[in-house]
Amino acid sequence: MVNTKVTLCGIEMDNPIIPASGTFGFGYEFAELYDINCLGTFSFKGTTRDPRFGNPTPRIAECPEGMLNAVGLQNPGVDKVIAEELPKLAKCFHKPVMANVSGFSLDEYVETCEKINACEQVGWIEVNISCPNVHGGGMSFGTSADAAAEVTKAVRAVTTKPLIIKLSPNVTDIASIAKACEAAGADGISLINTLMGMRIDLRKRKPVIANKTGGYSGPAIMPVAVRMVYQVYDAVKIPIVGMGGVSTAEDVIEMMLAGATAVEVGAANLVNPYASRDIINDLPRVMEKYGIQNLTDIIGGAH
C-alpha cells in the first residue's frame, strides 16, 4: 500500500493535490460534483481587501495547449468572503483550506491577511505577489526581490499561519526572488503563476482579450514551471508548491522530483471539473509503476 501523505509547512495532507486559486472558486461549487474532501486542500479564489468586478470582457481566449485569461481578480472582497463564502465552504469541506490573497499596495496586503489570519478554517495563506503595484508606478511586487521581501515582511508581521508566497514567472531570476522571500520570513514558496501572453483576432486585427494581454496557462507551460521549481529548490530551504500545466498524476511526480512538496492543479480544472479528483485516484497506480512507496521520499529526487 503506497503512502500519498505529505506535510506542507507543518500541516499534514492526505495527498499533495491542491486545486489552484481561480480555478476552483470557493470549493462548494465543485462539492456538488464530488466529495472535495478527497483533496489535499485547495486554494480559494484570489481575495482582495475591496470587492472587484474584474477586467472588461472578453477576458478568456483559447490557445494551443492552454488558455489566456485576464479575469482581473474578480471577488466579493475579504469581508464578504469571511462572512458568506467560508461558512458555505465549512458545510462541505472539513480540512484546512488555503487562502489566496492579492493586493495593490502594502496596506491592502496587510489588512487582508490580518483578517484572513483570524479564520479558523484557513490553514495556509498564499500571498500572490504578481499583481500590479498601483502605488509603485505599475510595477509588480513579484518582479523585484526587494519588493517581494517587503510584502513578505509586512504580512509576516500580522500573520501566525504558514505564509506561502506565490511568485510570477515573468522575471529573469526567480531564485533570487524566492531567496529574498525566505529571508523575509516566508514559510513556503508557490510557483509558477501564469506567463504573460496575447492573441490577435485576424478579422478584427485587434487583441482578442479586452485587456490586450493575459496570463497563459495549461500543459504548454509545464516545462517552464518544472525548470523554475528545480531552480528554486536549489536556492531555498523552505517547501515549494509547484504548479503550471499539471494535468496528470505523472505530472505531479515530475513536479515533486523537481522539488515540490505539494502540487497545484489549475487550468485542468476548467477543462475537466473532475481533474483533481482523477489525478488523486490515479496517483497510487503511478507510484507503483515507478516503484515509489512514500511520496515524501521523492521530493527533490531529480537533484
83-100: pLDDT as tens digits: 999 999 999 999 999 999
pTM metric for this prediction: 0.96
Write the burial class of residue 95 (CB in 10 Å: 0-12 exposed, 13-18 middle, 19+ buried). Answer: middle
Q: Which is the catalytic residue, given 9, 113, 131, 181?
A: 131
Spatial CA neighbour of 10 closest among 161, 159, 113: 161
Q: What is the CATH number of domain 6-54+73-198+217-298?
A: 3.20.20.70
Confidence of residue 126 (pLDDT cuts 50, 70, 90): very high
Given this model, what pLDDT does residue 138 score?
45
Q: What percent of the chain has pLDDT over 90?
A: 91
Active site residue 38: no
* Residue 214 CA from chain centroid, whole number: 17
Relative to beta strand 214-217, strand 66-69 is antiparallel
Q: Which amino acid is at 257?
A: L
How confident is the model over 157-180, as a mean pLDDT? 96
Cell of 148: 517581494
Return all residues near 276 (Cβ < 8 A) that are at least 6 apart. 17, 19, 24, 39, 42, 265, 268, 269
Position 110 scores a pLDDT of 97
Instruction: Work out whether strand 214-217 and strand 11-13 pair parallel, antiparallel, or are unpaired.
Output: unpaired
- Name which of 266, 255, 270, 238 is nearest 300 in CA terms: 255
Range scoring the smallest mean pLDDT among 70-79, 246-255, 275-284: 70-79
Above 60 in pLDDT, residue 135? no
In the prediction, which pLDDT does 216 show?
Answer: 95
Residue 133 has pLDDT above 50, yes or no: no
Which residue(s) pair with 97 in the sheet?
A: 122
What would the pLDDT profile of 40-67 be if each residue is shown by its tens digit? Answer: 999 999 999 999 998 899 999 999 899 9
Q: Examine residue 192 and say whether the peptide bond preceding it is cis (omega within 30 degrees of 0).
A: yes
- At 224, the pLDDT band (50, 70, 90 cuts) reads very high
Tell me the pLDDT band of 137, cut-offs 50, 70 and 90: very low
Cα separation of 23 and 43, whole Å? 9
What is the per-residue pLDDT for 302? 98
Tell me what the mean pLDDT of segment 181-188 comes to.
98
pLDDT band at 27 (very low <50, low <70, confident <90, very high): very high
Distance, in Å, from the CA atom of 50 to the CA atom of 33, rounded to the nearest integer, reads 30
What is the DSSP code string of 202-253?
A: TTTTEESSTTS-EEEESGGGHHHHHHHHHHHHHH-SS-EEEESS--SHHHHH
Residue 13 scores a pLDDT above 80: yes
Question: How buried is residue 17: exposed, middle or buried, by Cβ count under 10 Å (0-12/13-18/19+)?
Answer: buried
The residues, any chain, with a CB within 8 Å of residue 75's CB and separated by 6 or more, are 45, 46, 47, 48, 51, 52, 81
**Rounded CA separation 255/260 (Å):** 6
Q: Is residue 136 predicted with pLDDT exceeding 60?
A: no
Per mean pLDDT, which range of 20-29, 99-108, 133-142 is the poorest?
133-142
**Residue 252: pLDDT band with limits 50, 70, 90:** very high
